[in-house]
Structure 1
Amino acid sequence: MSPTHLPPADACDRARAARDARFDGLFFTAVRSTGIYCRPVCPAPAPKRANVSYFASAAAAAAAGYRPCLRCRPELAPGQPASGSAATVQRALALIADGALSEGGVEALAAQVGVGGRQLRRLFLAEAGATPLAVHGTHRLLLAKQLLTETALPVTQVALAAGFNSVRRFNAAFQQGCAMAPGAIRRLRRDAPSGQLSLRLGYRPPLDFGLMLAFLRKRAIDGIERVHEDAYERVLGPVDRPCTVRVSADVARGELRLEIRDADPRMIPDIVRRVRRVFDLDADLGAVHALLRQTPMLAEAIRRRPGLRVPGGWDGFEVAVRAVLGQQVSVAGATTLARRLVQAHGLASPAEAAGLDRRFPTPAHLRDAPLEAIGLPRTRAATLRALAAAVADGHVHFRAGQRLEDFVRDFTALPGLGPWTAHYVAMRALQQPDAFPAGDLVLQQVLGGRDGRLSERDTQARSQAWRPWRAYAVLHLWHLANDEKAARA
C-alpha cells in the first residue's frame, strides 16, 4: 500500500529533476545502488530512474534499510505540514514531536488520540510509510546527526539532546541508522563549528522573514524578547540558569539560523520545535496557495505577500494571556498591558543580554494576582485569573495533538472567553491551520467590502471554501485590511 502523503511518482520525478525546494520534506528519494536516501534538492548527480524509489518520510526510507545522505542532509528538510486529512496521524505526529514516545509507549500515544495501538500503527503505515516508533527513532537520529555536524557539543551531550540516556545505546543506534560511528560524522565535516551552538533550520520557500518579524515586533514583551530588523531574540530556561536564543535568516542558503547560548543539551529539541512553530517553518505554502487562490481577493493578497505565514507563539499560556489582554484594545494597548504584567508579576533573572532579564508569570502565580493594579477592568482581571487557574489545574492545556473543536470547547467554558479568543489562541499557540475567528471585526469588514460588514454567520459560511487552511486566509485578509487603511490615509 502506497502512503497517501506521497506525491505521484511522475510529480516526484519532475521535482527531483528540477531540485524543486517546494517539495523538500514532502518526499524522499532512495537509491538502491547506493543504499542512501536523499532530499529532492540533493546536489549529487541524478541516479538512474530504475534505481530510484520514493518514500513519504525519512522514517519510511530508514525502515526500508536506507541511510541518510551526507551531502543533502535529510535532517535539514522541513517537516510534514499539518492538514485536515489524516487527522489522527497528524495529531500523533505532533505528540511524537513533543516528546510523547520519550515518556511513554505506543499504546499510551494511541490512547491520547483516541484509537487502539494496532490501529495507530496501521494508520501510520498508510500515511507515513513507517510505524510511530520508527518515526520517533528517525527524528532522534537525524537530530543527533545535525548536532554532530553543526556543533562542537561532546558526543555525550549530543546523546542526551537526542534523548538517549546511554552513550552505548546511542552509538549502537547511530551505527545502525547511518552505517558509521558518531565520531566518523565529525571527521567528515568541512568546516569546524565555533563555540557558539548554531543550527540550520530548513523550510519550503517562500518565507517572508521580514514580515514575520514585523508581526512579532508589534507584540514583543520587554524583558522577555526582542525583535530587531533582522533577528528575533528571547530568554528562556530556569531562572537561575537562563539561556538565550537568536533567530536570523541565512539568505544565501534559504534557511533560518538558530543560535543557542548556555542551554542544557536536553532543552535543544524543545527549543527547535518552538522556533519552527513560531516561524511556521513546516508549512507547505504550495498547497495553501493552490486552494486560497481560487478566491480572487485572496489571489491578490498572495500576489502581494507570497511568503506570508502564520506567526506562532513561544508559549501557549503566554499567547492566551496576551489574547485576553488584547480584548477590546489595540495591539499597542495590549502590548503595554503585557509589559506591565511582566514587570509586576514576572520572575527576574540574571540578564544574559541587555533587556532580557524577565520570565513570563506562571499560571500558579497569576491565579490569585491583583491584576486590576496594572490597569485591567475587574471583569478582564477575573477572566485572566480564571484562565490561570484552569491551566494550573490542568482543565485547559496547550499541548500538541489537540483537536481544534475540543480546545475551543474547553477554552470557551471559562468566563469571559469567547470563540474569537479561542480560535486566535489555537491559530498561534497550537498551530491549528484551520482556526478561524469568524467574530473578528476586521475580517467581517474586509469580506463585506462596499456592501458593508458581514455577520459572523456569513463570515463563517464564506470561510468554508478555505478549509483546512483558514488561518492563512485570516493573515492575508488582515493585511488586505491594512492595505486599504493605508490607501485611504
Structure 2
Amino acid sequence: MPSPVPHVHADTLPAWQVCEQARRTRDPRFDGLFFTAVLSTRIYCRPVCPAPTARRVVYFRHAAAAEAAGYRPCLRCRPELSPDDGSWRRGDAALARALKLIDDGALAEQPLAALAQRVGVGERQLRRLFVERVGVAPIGVHGTRRLLFAKQLLTETTLPITQVALAAGFGSLRRFNDAFRTAYRLAPRDLRKGRRETAAHNAGDVLTLRLGYRPPYDFAAMLDFLRGRALPGVEVVDEHAYARVIGPIEQPGWLRMSAWPNGEHALKLELHGVATARLLEIVQRLRRMFDLDADPQAIAGALSSDARLAPLLAQRPGLRLPSGWDGFEIAVRAIIGQQVSVAAARTLASRLAQKYGRALPQPFAPGLAHLFPTPEALVDADLETIGLIRSRAQTVRGVASALIEGRVDFRAERTLEDFTARWVALPGIGPWTAQYIALRALGHPDAFPVEDLVLQKALPADGTRMTAKALGARAQAWSPWRGYAVIHLWRDCVPTPVARAEKPARKTRTARSDTRVEATA
C-alpha cells in the first residue's frame, strides 16, 4: 500500500494547523485547496464534508495524490464537485501550463513526452515537478480527472454507463469498468443503486450538472459583464442566467448557466442536444469562462496591499475574471469594437453572425438562432457590406487567415509573452488588443492592457492620467493576478457595464492601428 503521507513542498500545502481549522469549521473557502484522508476508512473528503470529524487523518494537495495513496472519494461530500486549485494554474510556469493542457485532454491520446515537449521541459523533469508539487505523476492527475468526472455523471445524470465511459474519455466500457473498480472498489452501476436525485434534475434531452466554485463568487457581476456584451442571436443574458448556442455545425446545441438553488456554492449547467463525447470539453470551457477555479484569498492577498485596490476587493470580494466561450469570437468582437460605441459594435457583430454564421433550422430558444461564424467563413468574407470600415475588415480577415494557418492560436501551452507577441505581429493588432484577447479569450490571470486609458486614469488620486510606463511599473506588484486588478478597476470606473463598454479613446491610436479603450468594464 502506498504511503498516505503527501509528498509535496510545504509551501504548496496549507499549514497543518490551517487545514485542521478549515476542516473542523467546514470552511468553504478552502474547498479544493486540500483533501482530508481518513486513515481508518481509507476515504478522502473535501474540507466541507458534513460527515462527523475524524481524528486520525492526513492531508493531500490534490485528489489524485489521495487516490494514488489508496484512498477512495467520499460518496457524501463528493470530491468531484470541488473546484480546482487555481493557484497552480497561475502565471506561465511549466506546471501551470501542463495542468491546463491535462484539463484540455492532452494525455488522452498523447504520451507524457509529448506533453513535456509542449511546455518546453524534459519528460523526467516534468514528472519530478508533478510529484514534488502535486504529489502524483501527470498520468495520475489525468486518470483521477477522468474518473471523478465519470463519478459525477453517474451520480447526477441518467446517461447509460457506456456513454459515461465515452464522456470521461475511456476508449472502451471494459477499460472504464476495470479502472473504476480498481480505484473505487465498486462497479460503476453500483454507484447508482438507491439514488433518485438524477431524475429531478435531468429530464428529456436536458442534462444538468453542478459546477462548483470556491466562495465568495459574485455571479450577478459576472452576468452584468456578459450581458453588456451579449451577441443577439448567439447569446441571451438576463438577470438570472447566461445562455448561448454552441457548435459544432454538424450537431449544434445550447447551454444555460444559472445559480444552483438553495445557496449551494455551485452553478447550474443545463445542456441541450450536446454530444456525449463533448461533455468534459464543455465543462472545462465553462469553468474557464466563468472563472470557477479562482482562489479569492490568494488574489486578495496579492492585490490588497495596494491602497487603490484594497477597498475595491473589500467591496466586491467575489468578482471574477469573465472569459469567453470561443477565442476567435472574442478576437473578432474586440476588433469590431475598436473606435465605435458599444451599441454600434453589437450591431455590427450581430450582422456578421447573421450573415456569415450558421443559421439554425429553428431557434433553440428565444434569441438563440445561429452559430458564430468560423475562421473559414470569414477569411474571404466581404465584411465591408455589413458596415465595417476597410481597415477593420482587413484585420478580421487577417486574423481568420492566421488562425487557419497556425500563426496564432489559443493553445494552453503559450506563455503570455509568446501569445501576445504572435498576435501583435498581425496587421491591425496592437498591444492593447493582444492583451485584451489574452484576458477574455484565455482567461489569463496576469493579462494587463497597459495602454488602457481607464486604467491610466483610475489610479492617480488627483484625477490625472498615468503614463503606460508608470502604470506598468505600478502593476508589477500585482502579478500574477493583474487581470483581476483590471476587472476591479473597470468595474469601479464604469458601474453600469453596458454604458461606455469597450468605447475607444477619441482620436487615440497606436502605431499599429490598435485602440486604447476608454471603458471596457
Structure 1 unaligned segments of length 5 or more: list them: none
2:511 paired residue number:
none
Task: Find the partner of 2:278 among 267, 278, 282.
Answer: 267
Q: Does 1:286 align with 2:297?
A: yes
Residues 330 and 86 (structure 1), Cα distance of their counterparts in 2 relative to 1, 3 Å cut: closer
Cα deviation code 1:256-289 (max 9, x no counterpart): 0101111111010011011111110000011101
Find the residue that maps to 1:234 and give its secondary structure: strand
Equivalent position to 2:65, from 60, 67, 71: 60
For 1:477 and 1:230, locate their aligned partners in 2 and report how far apart those are by CA, in whole Å. 24
Q: Does 1:254 align with 2:261?
A: no
TM-score (ref. length: structure 2): 0.90
**Residue 354 of structure 1: how far off its partner (Å):** 2.7
* Aligned pair partner of 1:301 in 304, 312, 316: 312
For 2:184 and 2:258, locate their aligned partners in 1 and report how far apart those are by CA, in whole Å.
30
Q: Which residue of 1 aligns with 2:490?
A: 478
Aligned partner of 2:248 among 226, 231, 238 = 238
- 1:152 paired with 2:162, answer no
The SS at the match of 1:53 is strand
Q: Which moved more, 1:374-383 or 1:153-162?
A: 374-383
- Deviation at 1:384? 0.9
Cα separation, 2, equivalents of 1:87 and 1:452: 36
Partner of 1:413: 425
Contact 1:279 1:311 in 2 (8 A): yes
Provide the rounded CA distance (Å) in 2 between the counterparts of 1:374 and 1:483: 31
CA distance in 2, matches of 1:483, 1:161: 41
Are 1:23 and 2:25 matched, yes or no?
no
Moved more, 152-161 or 252-261: 252-261
The correspondence of residues 33-432 of structure 1 with structure 2, limited to 5 A, is: 33-48=40-55, 51-82=56-87, 83-84=89-90, 87-193=93-199, 194-195=202-203, 196-252=206-262, 253-350=264-361, 351-432=363-444
1:330 CA displacement = 2.8
One-letter identity of the residue aligned with 2:403: V
Normalising by the residue count of structure 1, what TM-score does the alignment of the two structures yield? 0.96
Give CA-to-partner distance per residue, 1:356-403, whole Å, 9 cap, x none. 121111111211111111211211111111111000111100122321
Q: How big is each residue's C-alpha offset from its partner over 1:440-486, in whole Å with a ceiling of 9 and x where there is no partner?
A: 01111111342511111111111111111000000111112125999
* Cα drift, residue 340 of structure 1: 1.3
After the TM superposition, which of the residue ranges 272-281 and 85-94 deviates more from structure 2? 85-94
Distance 1:408 1:377 in 2: 24
1:187 CA displacement: 0.5
Of the three residues 462, 465, 482, the one matched with 1:453 is 465
Q: Secondary structure, in 3 states, of the residue corresponding to 1:197?
A: strand
Work out whether residues 446 and 482 of structure 2, in 8 Å CA contact, stay in contact via their aligned partners in 1. yes
Residue 222 of structure 2 contacts residue 290 of structure 2 at CA under 8 Å; is this kept in 1? Answer: yes
Aligned counterpart for 1:466 among listed residues 468, 471, 478: 478
SS of residue in 2 equivalent to 1:96:
helix
Q: Distance in 2 between matches of 1:84 and 1:243?
A: 32
Distance 1:140 1:73 in 2: 14
Asked if the contact 1:218–1:335 (Cα under 8 Å) also holds between the matched residues in 2, the reply is: no
**What SS does the aligned partner of 1:358 have?**
coil
- Post-superposition, which runs of at least 4 consecutive aligned residues in structure 1 deviate over 6 A? none
TM-superposed deviation, 1:159: 0.4
In the alignment, the residues of structure 1 paired with residue 143 and residue 348 of structure 2 have an alpha-carbon distance, to the nearest angstrom, of 44
CA drift of 1:238 comes to 2.9
Query: 1:280–1:311: 8 Å Cα contact kept in structure 2?
Result: yes
Q: Do 2:95 and 2:129's aligned partners in 1 also have CA atoms closer than 8 Å?
A: yes
Q: Are the counterparts in 2 of residues 218 and 332 from structure 1 also a CA contact under 8 Å?
A: no
CA distance in 2, matches of 1:13, 1:457: 45
| CA distance in structure 2 between the partners assigned to 1:399 and 1:308 by the alignment | 26
SS in 1 for 2:269: strand
Letter in 1 for 2:178: A
Q: Which amino acid aligns with 2:318?
A: G
What is the CA deviation profile of residues 201-233 of structure 1, one whole-angstrom value per residue up to 9, with x for unaligned ones? 110001111110111011111111111210111
How far apart in 1 are the matches of 2:424 and 2:449? 13
- Give the equivalent residue in structure 1 for 2:512: none
In the alignment, the residues of structure 2 paired with residue 84 and residue 315 of structure 1 have an alpha-carbon distance, to the nearest angstrom, of 21
- 1:315-350 Cα distance to aligned partner (Å, 9 max, x none): 011111111111122333222221111012111122
Q: How far apart, in 1, do the equivalents of 2:92 and 2:486 lie?
A: 23
What amino acid is aligned across from residue 488 of structure 2 in structure 1?
Answer: H
Q: What percentage of aligned pairs have identical amino acids?
A: 56
Q: Which amino acid aligns with 2:302?
A: L
In the aligned structure 1, how far is the partner of 2:143 from the partner of 2:117?
20
Letter in structure 1 aligned against 2:182: Q
C-alpha contact (below 8 Å) 2:91/2:445 kept by paired residues:
no
Q: Distance in 2 between matches of 1:465 and 1:243?
A: 43
> When the two structures are aligned, how many residues end up with a matched partner?
484
Look up the SS of the partner of 2:51 in the other structure: coil
Secondary structure, in 3 states, of the residue corresponding to 1:438? coil
Alpha-carbon distance change, 154 to 372 in structure 1, aligned in 2, over 3 angstroms = same
Structure 1 residues 457-466 or 135-144, which shifts more?
457-466
Q: Which deviates more, 274-283 or 231-240?
A: 231-240
Q: CA deviation at 1:192?
A: 3.9
Report the Cα offset of residue 251 of structure 1.
4.3
d(CA) in 1 for partners of 2:337, 2:462: 28
| Alpha-carbon spacing, 1:251–1:302, altered in 2? closer, same or farther (3 Å) | farther
